[in-house]
Structure 1
Amino acid sequence: MRQKLHIFITALLLFSTVFAFLDVTSAYANKSVVVATDVLNVRTTPDTNGAIISKVLRGETYPVVESQGEWVKIQVTSSKAGWVASYLVKESSNGGGSTAPSTGGESFVQILTDDLRVRTGPGTNFSVIGFVHTSSVNVRYLDENENWVKISGDGVEGWVAKEFVSITAKKTETTVDEEKQQVATILTDDLNIRSEASTQGEVLGTLSTGQQVMVTASSGEWLKINYQGMDGWIHKDYATLNQDQAGSAPTATEAIIKVAGLNVRSEPSLNGSVLKQLAEGSKVKIINERNNWCEIEMDDGQKGWIAGWFLEKSGQSSQEIPSNTEGTIVIVDDATNIRSAPSTTANVVLRANKGEEFEIAGVEDNWYKIKLSDGSDAFVAGWIVTTKGSTNKISRAGAEQYLANKVIVIDPGHGGRDVGAIGASGTYEKELTLRTSQLLHDKLRAAGAKVHMTRQADTSVPLHTRPQMANYYQADAFISVHYDSLDDSSVTGTTTYYYSNSDESLAESVHSALTQYIHLRDRGYRQENYLVLRESMRPSLLLELGYISNRGEEMTIKSGDFQERASTAIYQGLAQYFKEN
């Protein structure tokens, strides 16, 4: 009898182990992660001593095979899997279902309201660059955060309020007309050529910086190319496109830089990496134009992209410059001032309402000269309206001019097993800090800052490694985001902490913006000996953005409106600090 009982118990333990393994395996069967750093090493073992077997790039998505501590194992190809640090990836927003993306799949956005403003960044503090409407078709989904969606359509690329759109999936592959073939110039070394328009596609070969290949089709963020007689796919973020005119080189137009220290970027957007800076008065050759950005060739033969509105083209008459009557301005806000001269001190001759359009007669400084209904001339500030037609948009630099190229490390407090403070109704601090940090991340990136996060998902990150990231990246600012809690539930308000005397001005700037935007009790800014501040060798702050132990304040903090205002406040506070320092 004892022998039978022993056999039964052994069998039970064996089955329990098997089922436990199946449970762990199934937990990852429908999970995938997105690479959240520029280049991420994939290793043979879950530690930094493991041999590097592959490298994956920011934005690529991979299925998760298993997890161990602060490491996750991802399936890189059908035959290769390896380990990556969990705090350098974030969980895919696709949720459950198959981890393999649909080949050629692409997401589109349905616009739910007319005259939806498209902005340069995710926030109302970013300038309006255009509009989309319910009639807009083929508006592509590019990215999103809590309150905003990045789109591309109707000739404009930017951010729109999430509540006014619906995201749908659609498959599409657009073949390039043979008479209008395009040539892609590669921007990075070891760019993978894949068998399909997906990071799951088999790697057929690699390309190097400067190589040129013919583009035969496109699908979403991917380009189909022909290279050495082989068809394959590359991601468009790592190439620039030039129209191929029967093998001839594009006609170059000379231009002069109108501002000091103009950044030359790797791609036609503020997200492009800075290749170099050009001094005011420098002459450049424009070889390509896209969405008000100009691809230029410099004296040393190097190519890059610069913002077209900071250029003065030479060799053109005033009638040829796209700031003439070939377009109209569109009023963005009600009661917009139309003035008698190009100055904010000039007399107001008309107050125009949202949606009104006026013919452009010319440009003076940063003002549009327009024709009124009676045929008279008037002026409107270029940075407060948008345009239709071929006229270049005017943009007056705002906070983004002080944030561009700054290195910011954002530290969403707690994470993983460490939930942080627990709110009066059960809210976890770790979830709130990540929400705020992700919004701040997108705003800073849109302004051209180089942003790193200590964690991108609900993962555990050792406390001492957080300030080390700021030191490693030589951050211009390190911001640790937190929410507070006390046994006394009546306590409310926001507090800003710093450690070094040299960081007091940073604390003052950010805290001043917080009190202005989030409307909570001002508990001041003060010195404190916190480890994440003490161990950082870079300008650092720890922000306690409110007390979730107070039920009313917890409800406020959880709202999307508060998250938007808090992230905007930090953004503006950083801009003010860099402006003054």
Structure 2
Amino acid sequence: MRQKLPIFLIALLLFTTVFSFLNATSALANKSVVVATDVLNVRESPDVNAKVISKVSRGESYPVVEAKGEWVKIQVTSSKAGWIASYLVVASSEGGIASATRSGGSSSVQVLTDDLRIRSGPGTNFSVVGYFHSTSENIQYLDENENWVKVRGEGLEGWVAKEFVSIQAKKQQEQSQTTKKNQHATITTDGLNIRKEPSTDATVLGTLSTGQQVEVIGKNGDWLNIKLEGTSGWIHGDYATVGEGEPAEGAVLGHATIKVAALNVRSEPSLNGTVIEQLPQGTKVMIVSERNNWCEILMENGERGWLAGWFLDKNIKASSPPPSTAEGSIVIVDDATNIRSAPTTSAKVVHRANKGEEYPIVEIENDWYKIKLTDGSEAFVAGWIVASKGTTQRISRAGGEQYLSNKVIVIDPGHGGRDVGAIGASGTFEKDLTLRTSLLLYDKLRAAGANVFLTRQADTSVPLQNRPQLANYHRADAFISIHYDSIDDSSVTGNTTYFYSDSEAVLAENVHSSLVQYLNLRDRGFRQENYLVLRESMQPSLLLELGYISNRGEELTVKSGDFQERASTAIYQGLAQYFKGN
């Protein structure tokens, strides 16, 4: 963000900014747009107070009829058109602005070193969940960012440092095979875990019981990707029987309660369907199938009909997971790891184990493993300093994740597209640096369980006014706009944090203190400023200037992968510290 510019450059910037804003929506005319948020209101006219005539869902594509200001008119059905906010959709040829996905299909990963640590998230601040060796095989590639690769193999899933692996060419077959249409699975055991990923190490989302039927939407090896109550998860195929066609008559996928004054039951999953009945608010219904956010219900008279899913409170969820069992072993990650007589750090050390040693688990006590030593005796080791193997529960001492989980955070990579931002001493574009930092931060926050949104995930133009509006729309717990600085005086260096209102001073102090600790740049302090992205945001907001690229030395520093890693980690830790106290 340049502070001083020649007059002709200022004029040029003003012109391009206005031009960009005026053309942001008009460029969408005669194109299709993709919805980039979960549910988006379609209104009768281009006004936030206008009547809602329909709703559209994330990922759905619609042709654009007209564009006006920050609104676009879309053709919802052959007989219905309405207006939506342009900043909550993207042109169908671009990536979504609401979340980033950079999954690379079914590549494999070759480990280039021994004792490669697998971490629960993309950063050294995340706990170690295991390790790979150079002899490890069948390591599946899941995702990557600039410095880390997400992998799955040998019963483990996590992130490894990119410099120690080689990503192999993609295989021809798809990792997740699409099942035939209209398949369902009947559960053949009680207490079957529904997991977040197709792995026994993945988070348990809930359980299913014998006889329960669920929709099958995909397959990965022995695992079935199922859909229940609008949420997908994975079950092991050994404990379910897959059948063709719709679930058996009377099979219930779940229950829901109508949450509006009156809701039409229609003959088909569309607003064009014939209304066959109307149900009042509070009515409980049984859901037997789902399609495109519509729910097929079984009525008391035995007939079936369709309800708009966005007007339902799906309040029946899978039951809580049963207590985990201690089946497996622990693997020592560091030399001279203390093995103690009791599950406390004050207990006597009875043995010191070295890296790579493996011990069977007897049981789990709080966040300690009780293990059997080679002489047959039993002792304890802290669960957060070792890796585990098998189906046993993994233990990690809660770090920043506990404060970031479920927080809504919007990250704004400054500039983009035609707006390159500041230009460094050797020609570096600010827009490229801001995106690099933002994508690294995005992955860290997602790994901690936060709900994260990006104003852009590629080199695309986003009008300045739309950036804080995305944070307002999602009612973000924090809005972070990332920038790099520039000035005519090339001797100026350092990082600065800006906030708008007094209520954001604590957020600014926490994040800035963390940046000072991690970046090792000149501390230029945190201060109030009347920037548009801060002023127009109704959520706690910061604008971060992470260094001066007009200084040749600092430009070289901030371009490095090491700096990008430290900057994203610093923001992550600063946010965790803020949420810890707020």
Please tell me whether the aligned partners of residues 87 and 470 of structure 2 are also in contact (alpha carbons under 8 angstroms): no
Give the residue type in structure 1 aligned to 2:519.
I
Q: State yes or no: 1:302 paired with 2:316.
A: yes
- Distance (Å, rounded) in 2 between the aligned partners of 1:73 and 1:132: 52
Deviation at 1:495, TM superposition (A): 0.9
- The answer on whether the counterparts of 1:435 and 1:563 sit within 8 Å (CA) in structure 2 is yes
Work out the CA distance in 2 between the residues paired with 1:485 and 1:305: 55
- Would the aligned equivalents of 1:359 and 1:371 in 2 still touch at CA under 8 Å? yes
Task: Name which of 171, 193, 204 aligns with 2:173.
Answer: 171
Amino acid at match of 2:109: Q
* 1:33-59 Cα deviation digits (max 9, x unpaired): 99864467999xx9999x99995645x
Is residue 215–residue 224 contact of structure 1 (8 Å, CA) maintained in 2? Answer: yes
Aligned to 1:116: 116
Q: Who is 1:290 aligned against?
A: none
Task: Please report how far the alpha carbon of residue 118 of structure 1 lies from its aligned counterpart in structure 2 after TM superposition.
Answer: 2.5
Structure 1 contact 90–456 (Cα < 8 Å) conserved: no
Partner of 2:155: 155
3-state SS, counterpart of residue 126 of structure 1:
coil
Distance 2:126 2:159 in 1: 9
Q: Secondary structure at the match of 1:239?
A: strand
Deviation at 1:327, TM superposition (A): 2.1
Q: What's the offset of the Cα at 1:396?
A: 2.5
Shift in Å at residue 245 of structure 1?
Answer: 5.7
Which position in structure 2 is the counterpart of 1:244? 240
> Aligned pair in 2 of structure 1 residues 147, 90: CA closer, same or farther (>3 Å)?
farther
Q: 1:383 to 1:374 in 2, by over 3 A?
A: same
Q: Which residue of 1 aligns with 2:510?
A: 509
**Residues 70 and 87, structure 1, Cα contact 8 Å, conserved in 2:** no
In structure 2, do the counterparts of structure 1 residues 120 and 329 end up closer, same or farther at CA, with 3 Å as the change threshold? same
In structure 2, the residue matched to 1:449 is 450
C-alpha spacing 1:472/1:546, structure 2 compared with 1 (3 Å): same
| Equivalent residue number for residue 436 of structure 1 | 437
Cα distance in 2 for partners of 1:235, 1:166 equals 34
1:63-462 superposed matches below 5 A = 106-113=105-112, 114-163=114-163, 164-167=165-168, 168-172=170-174, 182-183=185-186, 212=213, 215=216, 218=219, 238-242=231-235, 243-244=239-240, 302-304=316-318, 313=323, 322-323=325-326, 326-462=327-463
The one-letter code matched in structure 1 to 2:325 is: P
Distance 1:477 1:216 in 2: 35
User: Comparing 395-404 with 541-550, which one deviates more in the overlay?
Assistant: 395-404
Letter in 2 for 1:111: Q
Q: Percent identity?
A: 66
Q: Distance in 1 between matches of 2:88 and 2:576?
A: 27
Cα distance between partner residues in 2 of 1:90 and 1:112: 39
TM-score (norm 1): 0.63
* Cα contact 2:121–2:158 (8 A) shared by 1: yes
SS class of match (1:508): helix
User: Could you tell me how far 1:348 is from its partner in structure 2?
Assistant: 3.4
| TM-score, with length taken from structure 2 | 0.63
| Bigger relative contact order (CA 8 A; separation at least 6) | 2
Q: Residues 213-271 of structure 1: CA distance to partner in whole angstroms, max 9, x if unpaired?
A: 5649626999799xxxxxxxx99995334532699x9xxxxxxxxxxxxxxxxxxxxxx
Matched residue of 1:170: which SS? Answer: coil
CA distance in 2, matches of 1:384, 1:33: 48
SS at match of 1:131: strand
* Other structure's SS at 1:383 match: helix
Local SS of the residue matching 2:107? strand
Matches of 1:455 and 1:221 in 2, distance apart? 37
What SS does the aligned partner of 1:159 have? strand
Residues 470 and 385 of structure 1: is their aligned pair in 2 closer, same or farther, counting only changes over 3 Å? same
Deviation at 1:558, TM superposition (A): 0.9
CA distance in 2: counterparts of 1:148 and 1:69, whole angstroms: 40
Task: Quote the offset at 1:532 in angstroms.
Answer: 1.5
Letter of the structure 2 residue corresponding to residue 302 of structure 1: I
Query: 2: distance between equivalents of 1:86 and 1:166?
Result: 35
Alignment of 1:55-66 (within 5 A): 57=58
Q: For residue 443 of structure 1, report the CA deviation from its aligned partner.
A: 1.1
SS at match of 2:484: strand
| Partner secondary structure for residue 171 of structure 2 | strand
- Matched with 2:22 is none
CA distance in 2, matches of 1:86, 1:131: 42
Change (3 A) 1:575 1:301: closer
CA spacing shift, 1:471–1:214, aligned 2, 3 Å: closer
SS in 1 for 2:444: helix
Gaps (5+ residues) in structure 1? 1-31, 77-82, 95-104, 185-210, 226-233, 250-299, 314-320
- The one-letter code matched in structure 1 to 2:107 is F
Secondary structure of residue in 2 paired with 1:480: strand
Shift of the 347–305 alpha-carbon distance from structure 1 to 2, 3 Å rule, reads same
Matches of 1:534 and 1:33 in 2, distance apart?
29
Which segment drifts farther, 352-361 or 430-439? Answer: 352-361
CA contact (8 A) 2:512 2:574 kept: yes
* Counterparts of 1:216 and 1:538, CA distance in 2: 38
The superposition leaves residues 394-443 of structure 1 with CA deviations (integer Å, 9 ceiling, x where unpaired) of: 23322111111111111111111111110111010011111111111111
User: What is the CA distance between 1:331 and its match in structure 2?
Assistant: 1.3
Q: Is contact 1:498-1:507 (8 Å) kept?
A: yes
Give the direction of change, closer, same or farther, for the CA distance of 1:556–1:368 in structure 2 (3 Å limit).
same
Residue 355 of structure 2 aligns to a residue in which SS? Answer: coil
Q: Aligned to 1:169, what secondary structure does the other structure show?
A: coil
Instruction: For residues 452-487 of structure 1, give each alpha carbon's deviation from its aligned partner in whole angstroms, at most 9, with x where no partner exists.
Output: 222222222222222222222221111111101111
Structure 2 counterpart of 1:533, one-letter code? L
Conserved? CA contact 2:186–2:241, under 8 Å: no
Indicate how the Cα distance of structure 1 residues 436 and 216 shifts in structure 2: closer, same or farther if over 3 A, else same: closer
The answer to whether the Cα contact below 8 Å between 2:105 and 2:142 also exists between their aligned partners in 1 is: no
Distance 2:531 2:384 in 1: 43
> Residue 577 of structure 2 aligns with which residue?
576
Q: Work out the CA distance in 2 between the residues paired with 1:353 and 1:236.
A: 47
Matches of 1:347 and 1:474, distance apart in 2: 50
C-alpha distance 392-544 of structure 1, shift in aligned 2 (>3 A): same
Q: Is the 8 A contact 1:41 1:56 kept in 2?
A: no
Residue in 2 that maps onto 1:536? 537
Equivalent residue of 1:171, what SS? coil
SS in 2 for 1:525: strand
Q: What is residue 494 of structure 2 aligned with on the other side?
A: 493
CA distance in 2, matches of 1:141, 1:42: 39
Contact 1:489–1:549 (8 Å) recurs in 2: yes
